[in-house]
Structure 1
Amino acid sequence: MISNHLLFKLASGEVFGQDQPIALKLLRSESSVQALEGVVMELQDSLYPLLREVSIGIDPYVIFEDADWALLIGAKPRGPGMERAAILDINGQIFAEQGKALNAVASRNVEVIVVGNRCNTNALICLKNAPDLPAKNFHALTRLDENRARFQLALQAGVFYDKVANMTIWGNHSTTQVPDFLNAKISGRPVKEVIKDTKWLEEDFTITVQKRGGVLIEKWGRSSAASTAVSIVDAMRSLVTPSPEGDWFSTGVYTTGNPYGIAEDLVFSMPCRSNGDGDYELVQDVATDDFLGDRIKKSEAELIAEKRCVAHLTEEKGHKVPNGKNDSCKK
């Protein structure tokens, strides 16, 4: 469902502009072949002038060949009664194999955006299995969370969402994520000067953003496919378009060398800027207070626990793997 919304946006030039031809190479499962063939027919019949090729296949070593961008969207959802360790392992094996395929055949500067949950840890697994590719090029999608946070602040302040800037999502794409109202701005002013209700910011706002995806599933009966597709487009455009002066965006990135004291060797959402060439830099000196700092540490601890669960998929070959059977994996 996410891909069905996304493909038409990519083909129309929404990401790379109206002068950049594009080839879509679609990786399918055995069960999705007929549906995907129908999507390809619709893409062909839409006569997008920039769409020069659409191909489908089941082998990632064929589909990922020379890819400049890899959007890894599919993952198995967590079913009733399924332990966290089980779903992490099942999806982790998928992303380990995709990492190996990217490492073997993709462009040496391929940009990888992992959407399938749990996306932070899946992105870590993927990059660990692609040692010949820059770890910096792997992202976990937290842009939907940022978009949700911007909307909630705009709604509370009675302004349009384009007045909200400097919005950061810290941590994991989960209910431990930390929407940062301390550094965000509304119409150029700190949020806390515009919205003076600290209790609303710390409770209602934070919890609403953290649980928005689950509430949507309860209302709609399905996950947020359309808005996820929009956020993937936003995330890609943030890397190929220069960041506005003084502003930044959120993306889950590899933590090694980060300036915020976040544990090394995780994929953690942080504030980033880009000059529009596909690369990014971490924003320096973003302030935190006790409220944000405590919650950032909780999200960090969750990701450390997830990493422990999938140690067998992330450790280098021949390296001793710590015991992954930890109580935290069962929650």
Structure 2
Amino acid sequence: MKHADEILDEYGTLIERKVEEFFEQRIKETNSYHKFISNVYENLREYVMRRGKRLASCSTLLVYKGYTDEIDNSILSVCVGIELYRHSILIHDDLVDKDDFRRGGKAFHKIFENISSRFGESTAIFSGNILYALALNAILESDFDRILVHDVIDLLNRDYRNVNESQVLDILFEYREPGIREWYKMASKRASSLFRATMLTGAILANAPKEEKDLLIECSSNIGYSFDIQDDIIGTFGTESEYGRPIGGDVVLGKKSLHVVYALKNSPEDESGRLRRILKKENPSKKEINTAIEIMRKYGLEKAKERSREHAKRAINLIKKTQMNKETKNFFIEFINYVSESLEWYK
């Protein structure tokens, strides 16, 4: 039986070939419109094709295969759409979070900043929108029954709105202090929304029964919570080589990840007051960033890790209840276990 990494490499390569074909055609089309727009599309291709795990699109592919035991051109076209959908969100995320890099290259808003920073940021906003439109194009070009395609596009539209709503709350929490319940409200439409969209797309196109879709909705929510909490922990307690971006950026922005919410709730008054003051500062010093991280480590890290593990356990139990084939079940179980076990690296 192949391991999760091997499956992602194999299926990710199939999807990348289709992404390349898709962009080749679109770049030809833009050449007849304007040379600079063609340049934008070339950069979009480079941005999307930067080496990654292709987890979102592979999740769609694996769920579809889990119910049909097939991989065909139509599902690969849809996976192109999922990959573009994911990257449309990432372009905007990097701009809002002021990140300079993404997977070893410039964040998209940094690519055209040689003209001006305003131009680079504006082009990133429009380019993220272009990728979303291209995602829908790719899905519409598949040969699936039009009713199923409509259901998928309706799903992606709803979850795209959900992701954007969660991002508004995520930014709001930089300026105010959410409780645990309010944090979960925000997170219910963040990574949970992405996993729900990608996994349910595969189930819809495979004509999976309603009971199976219901299991996947609950399962994907728990995967999303577990993944979100783990990803935020890496962003605070990991190294730059692990995260691909400078550590401490979330402290500078005043972000309220779950481990921060727990630290503010559980720390003594003097410690919580110190943490609040640092999170409110526009440009905290390196010493202050390290102080904030130590308070989070002492009063919030373990509780957040515990919650991530609880969600991982629930997700695995739900995956086991589905009727998907053994390969797909084993993939998701191994992936979820990896997310849970990797928490031990951060103490």
Q: By the TM > 0.5 criterion, same fold?
A: no
Between structures 1 and 2, the one with greater helix share: 2
Give the TM-score, by structure 2 length: 0.27
Between structures 1 and 2, the one with greater strand share: 1
Give the TM-score, by structure 1 length: 0.28
